[in-house]
A and B are shown apart, each in its own frame.
Chain A
């Protein structure tokens, strides 16, 4: 009996440490590497930062795809479980997942990337990266005529001027670079536009594309040390002058809300004003602009002060009005319009198209 008790005690005393050791071993897998002493003895520290995170391209543009990769000089990432988190949301997880692809949104908001790896020997390591996209917007418009309350964009026309502006958003070390700290190099059809490139030159005025042509305009922006650089390109077509006429109402003024159609059942008397949209002028009375009015084939004189306007009075069944607009300094500016005014009755304005009166010209 004594022997049995002694034996039992020996067994228990032998088993208890084993039990404790196995329990601790299992629990400690998440807490301390098995070879913590080994790591420490070699002076290895801060292994939690042992990941290196790369983004390609390094400075992407909005809407651009980005290839993310992670590597480590110590961890065997091919066997480790790797987790990718973007903007606080886990997007991928897997053993050996050392790369991930994502795309920046077109608004250019920054992307926050975090990657972590768990290694059975070395523990857990994490690294993070914020990707701030390079933003370049190229805004353009023609330096051409549009009526004062026109809500659309003035478009460039041949032999006119083209306004361009590069709006940039280059961030380095958390600071947005001013235009003065950026070098702008402007290109037309891959050729540098001389005299329009340099530091801070984000706004330029150049020749518009030639008649019926389209130009590829690009700009390269770079920080002073060339560590940040990007290129943006747009295509800009030339636009022809659009010649329209509106009624110039005695009370309401020019009725810009209603272009007169080619055939008008107009009122007995009507004044019309011609608008050459996208002509290379600032004012309608530009002295270089020629308005050639013809009524039923005969030249007629418009007002000396408002050469783009003419008044018509009822005369005959049908009247044909023609207008040719040209410019002495711009060979490419030529626009022709033709309108038929039909006999109408009882209509006071082109806004009601029931009038059947007829016209002859009248000097203003």
Chain B
């Protein structure tokens, strides 16, 4: 009897333990199932869909970032390797650049551009257009003070340096027409609206003052009639100046109140507008950007090797940093997007970077941001996706001068450039036009692009002449 009882108790205990064990396992199974995680992947299709800076346990995002010279700290999360096919490149060099085809050239540097070459595949323009001008067309033989693309048609307005006369060049037919006949001699710089309305900047021969004339074209009822330029002088000595024909804004800095003050004014042709103070500064050496989206960007005038800074001027006089402590900083913002292209110059070496809100990439071309221009960008709207972020940059064959920027800005050196396209959305960099054709090259200054994104225009720094180049597929 006792052994039976003992046996029974032991059995019960063993069964109990077994049941508890099974029950416990079942409970953990439920727990683990509740705690299961779903891993999500970022959308790499957008190209820049990367998140916060990555940092290892040892700290530091700089191990992810490209070359860092002269103590300059590059911000953002560094380069994050992307897909290998046409994606953003890896740690060294940032982009997968390649020297593509040299670019098809119809005729080079025809002085009047009346050859009958044609091209039907110019990027961005609607339909089939037969161009009578060469793909690379030198429009003028003499220096120009400034230029601006017209809207709606492939044409460009420019102001002659010698006379201030406003001319119109039809890029399809090659026809040159004069729009004004009011003589304004020795115009060093001109800003034109998209109908040719000019702002002239000249130097007073007696007082040496820098004068800015806000002009209005009158009595030009048709394109065949020559108009007159009348208007009003703005303040003297506006050493920093910009005018945007799309936002119709003038942005300038003047010395006053013991320092320097930045103002904007509506661009009202021929009239003084109401000044609005933007910020005050202890220095006057700024490069100004009045963007068509209304943003005001300022970048300190550069010096090779010296740290430079760029800010967005916001309301209340606040300068919000965009690029900090970059040696020999040149920069180029784009309307409608936070991306920036900026360049550095130090110790005889140039570097170019693309910066977005989350990261900074080293581009595989060595040039300055002054030689770059953004293709017009359109954000996503309705069913239409955003356009690619594309920049065109003129890249010097040799840019190894010790103080490149100082020498270039002084006019002590000129470059021989080739044109490159940088697509920041798909990570492709390719050469689209080789300069130095038949021994004649160009030193790109003040590059611009037409609203369709298909035609580039620039001054040749060697002689100040005006050139256009069609971007062919």
Contact = CB atoms under 8 A, between A and B. Distances in A.
Given A87-B53, A203-B281, A256-B411, A176 B318 contact: yes
Given A151-B409, A252-B186, A15 B16 contact: yes
Contact of B77 (A26, A105, A205): A105
A126 interface: no
Number of contact residues on A: which range applies? Answer: 35 or more
9 shortest interchain CB distances as A-B pairs: A26-B27, A203-B282, A101-B59, A87-B52, A165-B282, A22-B23, A253-B186, A106-B73, A107-B75
B52 A89 contact: yes
Contacts of B208: 283-285
Contacts of B16: 14-15, 18
Contacts of B410: 150, 152, 242, 244, 256, 259, 277
Contact of A137 (B73, B74, B324): B324
B268 interface: no
Which of A63, A153, A244, A254 is the most central at the interface, judged by chain B CB atoms within 10 Å of its CB?
A: A153
A296 B324 CA distance: 50
A257 B142 CA distance: 13
A255 B21 CA distance: 94
B60 A101 contact: yes
Interface string A271-295: 0000001000001110000000000
A18 B283 contact: no
Interface string A94-137: 00000011110111110000000000000000000000000101
Contacts of B77: 105
Interface string A2-33: 00000100010011001111111111011000
A153 B74 contact: no
Given A151-B409, A163-B283, A22 B61 contact: no
Nearest to A165: B282
Contact of A103 (B55, B283, B301, B302): B55
Contacts of A176: 318
A87 B309 contact: no
A86 interface: yes
A252 B23 contact: no
Contacts of A11: 12, 15
Interface stretch (B28-36, B215-223, B447-455): B28-36
Contacts of B324: 62, 106-108, 135, 137
A18 to B, nearest CB: 5
A186 B323 CA distance: 24
Interface string A62-101: 1101010000000000000000001111011000000011
Interface of B: 8, 12, 15-16, 19-28, 30-31, 34-35, 51-55, 57-62, 73-77, 142-143, 161-162, 185-186, 188-189, 201, 203, 206, 208, 210, 239, 259, 281-285, 287, 300-303, 306-307, 309, 311, 318-319, 321-325, 370, 405-406, 409-412, 445, 461-464
Contact of A23 (B24, B186, B303): B24
A362 B472 CA distance: 52
Nearest to B34: A30
Contacts of B12: 11, 14
B309 A27 contact: no
B188 A253 contact: yes
Which of B30, B143, B259 is the most central at the interface, judged by chain A CB atoms within 10 Å of its CB?
A: B143
A65 B281 contact: no
A148 interface: yes
Given A103-B62, A107-B322, A150-B409, A18 B19 contact: yes
Given A88-B52, A167-B309, 6 more contacts: A14-B16, A21-B23, A23-B23, A107-B322, A139-B283, A141-B300
Given A62-B75, A148-B188, A137 B31 contact: no
A23 B31 CA distance: 10
Given A101-B58, A108-B324, A29 B31 contact: yes
A162 to B, nearest CB: 10
B73 A62 contact: yes
Contact of B30 (A27, A140, A163, A255): A27
Interface in A148-163: 148-155, 163
A246 interface: yes
A94 to B, nearest CB: 9
A23 B26 contact: yes
Contacts of B306: 140, 153
A305 B21 CA distance: 106
27 contacts: A15-B15, A22-B19, A23-B24, A27-B27, A30-B34, A63-B75, A65-B59, A87-B51, A89-B54, A101-B58, A102-B60, A103-B55, A106-B75, A135-B324, A137-B325, A140-B283, A141-B285, A148-B203, A150-B409, A151-B301, A151-B370, A153-B306, A164-B282, A246-B411, A255-B411, A284-B208, A285-B208
A351 interface: yes
A111 B156 CA distance: 47
A311 B430 CA distance: 48
Contacts of B411: 246, 255-259
Nearest to A349: B463
A169 interface: yes
Contacts of A89: 51-52, 54
A86 B52 contact: yes
A355 B384 CA distance: 59
Contacts of B463: 257, 351
A105 B307 CA distance: 17
Contacts of B34: 30
B301 A203 contact: no
A101 B58 CA distance: 6
A202 interface: yes
A257 B460 CA distance: 10
A204 interface: yes
B55 A91 contact: yes
A252 B405 contact: no
B269 to A, nearest CB: 23
Nearest to A112: B52
A160 to B, nearest CB: 14
Given A23-B24, A152-B409, A284-B208, A105 B75 contact: yes
A234 interface: yes
A1 interface: no
A253 B52 CA distance: 53
A112 B275 CA distance: 40
A126 to B, nearest CB: 17
Contacts of A44: none
Contacts of A148: 188, 203, 210, 239
A153 B301 contact: yes
Nearest to B259: A203
Nearest to A16: B19
Contact of A101 (B57, B283, B325, B406): B57
A256 B408 CA distance: 11
Contact of A20 (B23, B201, B412, B461): B23
A242 B403 CA distance: 13
